[in-house]
Structure 1
Amino acid sequence: MILLSSNAQQIFWLARYLTRVQYLCSQFPFQADDAAKKYANAFALGEHDAASLNTLVQDAQHFASFAQQFSCAKDNIQDLRGVLSAKSYAELNQLIKNASENSLDICDVVSECHEILEAEAQDIFLFFMLGQYVEQLDRQLRLKQDTQVTLNQLDQVIDLLTQLGWSGVKAAWQQLHILPNSINFYHFSDHIQHLFEVDV
């Protein structure tokens, strides 16, 4: 199967949303006010303590909540009906139907979604890994966490993408790899988005 750029983009964003929720699950409930404030500041949420941040991420109407982030992932899964294997789509669809807006339900489902997608075809999983590592790097730069492992993982993914004809991404990636900061990250992200919008 030839993977269209639009499908690759949906897989990429599905991975980003699932990875985003999965990290939030690993931190929730926030216990320390300092850690909660650091997270809130990194994502421009405006909360100043653990209690208020815990309330915010459980508010189904807020864009940064479990429910809203998971809703974006659900939309991507629906759009990939003709791309994912019938088995994977059926399993994912059942999982998202079973998940309520409850944060614990969503956290359980997100982990299972990851496992199902890891078994997909190589080209599908390649763009899933790209989204996963880009999201991890975004979060690590925002929170000033160590980026080395993610940079090494992304380096391997970029090499595979280059072999698929995505040679245009190499220069932007090399700039980010040499100097991993927010400016180079956004330049790299914009470049990926541009490639999704043209035939590669």
Structure 2
Amino acid sequence: MILLSRNAQQIFWLGRYLTRIQYLCSQFPFKYNDDALQYAHAFCLPAFDAASLNELILNPEQPASFHQQFQYAKDNIQDLRGVLSAHAYAELNQYIKNAKENPAYICDVVGDCHEVLEAEASDIFLFFKLGQHLEQLDRQLRLKQDIQGTVYYIEVVVGLLTQAGWDSLSEIWMKLKQQPDSMHFYQFSDHIQQLFEADA
């Protein structure tokens, strides 16, 4: 890979965290107890109705809160200073600063970051997309949502990564594609982690 493994992994997780925030923003505040319980059970969160889940999401001490997820994304951006262009790094930091000063802006920062990273080198955006789509697939499997579109995009990303040297990824991906369940998802996710570590 052209990118250092550690940098690629940080970009990958940035994609996952921002996508997680984006979906949470689209659902928050939860209005119906059934929807809240489905989400809480899917992600093993200690909530028993819409009100308690909304409270948890706003509690900065909770790992699943807006605050914590945003902090994870912020930390990844800070660690990418030597990888991103000076312009992109400055833009991302400005978005982060705006969101920190005005929490309501957190839900807008995902799209802004996506546009900035899309303009960066293709390998940077590739790992960002891998993180995005893997996070989407994780959520869709947990919540029993339609995965067809996400599977298509992961297929494209896997093809590009295979061409770039991650030859073993396609075989594991085919197993997940043929049997899309949590077990095969975690096998695929773990294999990606192993590839990051092998390239380190």
Give the TM interval when normalised to the shorter protein. Answer: over 0.9
Deviation at 1:140, TM superposition (A): 0.3
User: What are the within-5 Å matches in structure 2 for residues 1-200 of structure 1?
Assistant: 2-100=2-100, 103-199=103-199
Which amino acid in structure 1 is aligned with residue 166 of structure 2?
Answer: W
Which amino acid in structure 1 is aligned with residue 6 of structure 2?
Answer: S
| TM-score, structure 2 normalization | 0.96
Cα displacement string for residues 22-71 of structure 1 (whole angstroms, at most 9, x for unaligned residues):
00000011111110110011000021211111111000110000000000
**Which shows bigger deviation, 22-31 or 104-113?**
104-113
| TM-score, structure 1 normalization | 0.96
SS in structure 2 opposite 1:197? helix
Write the distance in 2 (CA, Å) between the matches of 1:103 and 1:181: 35
Percent identity (aligned): 66
Structure 1 gaps of 5+ residues are: none
SS in structure 1 opposite 2:35? helix
Which amino acid in structure 2 is aligned with residue 43 of structure 1?
Answer: F
Which amino acid in structure 2 is aligned with residue 141 of structure 1?
Answer: L
Deviation at 1:119, TM superposition (A): 1.6
Write the distance in 1 (CA, Å) between the matches of 2:141 and 2:112: 27
Q: Which runs of 4+ in 1 moved over 3 A?
A: none
Structure 2 gaps of 5+ residues are: none
Which amino acid in structure 2 is aligned with residue 113 of structure 1?
Answer: C
Deviation at 1:101, TM superposition (A): 7.4
Q: Report the count of equivalent residues.
A: 200
SS in structure 2 opposite 1:44? coil
